[in-house]
């Protein structure tokens, strides 16, 4: 599943090449998670502005025609190609522009491209409203993060995955950040002290920054961004390492299930 770092790497890859591009045509494939929400031809003639990201959504402003909110779902990827190759069976959206064709390939079709009059109104505002803070937003201070944890009674790992406090902590990043911070993933969020909350926020930022570094190299090598989490996983300290030795204490990494998702942690290094 594309996580926040993959989406951000995608944004970096398409933002500059698409700036100022004129939309020449729009091609729709099979239905995605949500409909486009406007007649495709109304987008033709508009100009693409700077691409931004909010959580795992990308926003492509189309000057004169609102903009498009794109989500990659479970299996989606966006690629900007020089020429419009014939669409394959999993290519469900093409934005044909004067700077190339932006194509959404999504075998499982949980992704979506949704038109909105602006990012802060209409369908975009509705879809983005439940999202928590951006992890690197300076406005997300340790005090604010701690206050958010204090209001939640569920396990801290669950709070991270939900994304209502902070976005971007997908399963692998949540497990790794909790290891770095030394916090047992089953700890109730409301019981985490202010110093530990501060360590957890720092660990999450460090973990995501590292994933972005890995993604940056992926982008330079023109490899598929889907290879990214695999590459990051190769250096993971607990994720995917059930029954292997912890590199810090030599103890055994455990796997448990929380909310139908695997959690990996080291009982020696992570405490409640």
| Separation between Cα atoms, residue 167 and residue 140, nearest integer Å | 11
Would you say the C-alpha torsion 257, 261, 262, 263 has a positive or negative sign?
A: negative
Q: Does 4 bind Zn ion (CB under 5 A)?
A: no
Which window, 29-37, 40-48, 57-65, 251-259, contacts Zn ion (CB under 5 A)? 251-259
- Is 269 among the residues that bind Zn ion (CB under 5 A)? yes
Q: Which is nearer to Zn ion, 102 or 246 (CB)?
A: 246
Closest-CA residue to 186 (of 267, 105, 95, 245): 267
Does the annotation mark 2 as catalytic? yes
CB of 270 to Zn ion, least distance (A): 7
Question: Of 85-104, which residues contact Zn ion (CB under 5 A)?
Answer: none
Q: How far is the CB of 183 from Zn ion (least distance, A)?
A: 13
Asked whether 171 and 161 are in contact (CB, 8 A), the reply is: yes
Question: If you compute the radius of gyration of the chain from its CA atoms, what whole number of angstroms results?
Answer: 20
Binding to Zn ion (CB under 5 A) within 140-169 occurs at none
Residue choice 14, 23, 78, 266 for contact with Zn ion (CB under 5 A): 266
Q: Is 268 in the site for Zn ion (CB under 5 A)?
A: yes
Find the part of the chain contacting Zn ion (CB under 5 A) among 31-39, 165-173, 186-194, 249-257.
249-257
- Residues paired with 29 in a beta bridge: none
Q: Which stretch binds Zn ion (CB under 5 A): 28-36, 84-92, 220-228, 240-248?
A: 240-248
* Distance from C-alpha of 60 to C-alpha of 104, rounded to nearest angstrom: 13
Contact between 249 and Zn ion per CB under 5 A = yes
- CA-angle at 47, arms to 43 and 48, nearest 5°: 100
* Closest to Zn ion by CB, 32 or 181: 181
Q: Which of 11, 53, 56, 157 is catalytic?
A: 56
**Residue 69 or 178 with smaller CB distance to Zn ion:** 178
Positive or negative, the CA dihedral 53, 54, 56, 59 is: negative
Query: CA 253 to CA 250: how far, in whole Å?
Result: 9
Is there binding between residue 246 and Zn ion (CB under 5 A)?
A: yes
Catalytic residue (choose from 2, 5, 61, 123): 2
| Residue 157 annotated as catalytic | no
Q: How far apart are CA 142 and CA 86, in angstroms?
A: 50
| DSSP state, residue 41 | G
Please check whether residue 169 is in contact with residue 163, taking contact to mean a CB–CB distance below 8 angstroms.
yes
Only one of the segments 3-11, 117-125, 187-195, 250-258 lies at the binding site for Zn ion (rule: CB under 5 A); that segment is 250-258
Q: How many residues line the site for Zn ion (CB under 5 A)?
A: 7
Instruction: Supply angle C-alpha 53, 13, 47, rounded to 5.
Output: 70
The H or E element that residue 57 is part of is: strand 57-63
CB of 247 to Zn ion, least distance (A): 8
Which positions lie near Zn ion, rule CB under 5 A? 246, 248-249, 251, 266, 268-269
The catalytic residue positions are 2-3, 56, 261
């Amino acid at each position: 599943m594309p996580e926040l770092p993959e989406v951000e790497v995608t944004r970096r890859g398409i933002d500059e090449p698409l700036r100022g591009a004129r939309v020449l045509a729009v091609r729709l494939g099979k239905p995605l998670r949500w409909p486009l929400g406007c007649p495709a031809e109304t987008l033709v003639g508009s100009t693409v502005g700077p691409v931004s990201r909010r959580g795992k959504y990308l926003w492509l402003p189309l000057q004169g025609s609102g903009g498009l909110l794109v989500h990659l779902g479970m299996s989606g990827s966006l690629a900007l190609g020089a020429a419009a190759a014939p669409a394959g069976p999993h290519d469900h959206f093409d934005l044909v522009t004067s700077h190339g064709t932006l194509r959404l390939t999504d075998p499982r079709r949980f992704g979506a491209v949704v038109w909105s009059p602006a990012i802060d109104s209409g369908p975009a505002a509705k879809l983005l409203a439940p999202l928590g803070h951006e992890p690197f937003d300076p406005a997300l201070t340790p005090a604010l993060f701690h206050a958010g944890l204090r209001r939640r009674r569920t396990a801290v790992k669950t709070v991270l995955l939900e994304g209502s406090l902070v976005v971007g902590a997908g399963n692998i990043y949540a497990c790794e950040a909790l290891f770095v911070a030394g916090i047992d993933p089953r700890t109730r969020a409301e019981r985490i002290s202010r110093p530990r909350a501060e360590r957890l926020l720092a660990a999450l930022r460090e973990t995501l920054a590292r994933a972005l570094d890995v993604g940056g190299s992926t982008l330079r090598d023109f490899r598929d961004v889907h290879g990214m989490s695999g590459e990051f996983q190769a250096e993971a300290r607990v994720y995917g390492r059930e029954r292997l030795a912890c590199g810090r204490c030599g103890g055994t990494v455990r796997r448990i299930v929380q909310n139908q998702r695997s959690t990996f942690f080291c009982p020696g290094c992570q405490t409640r």
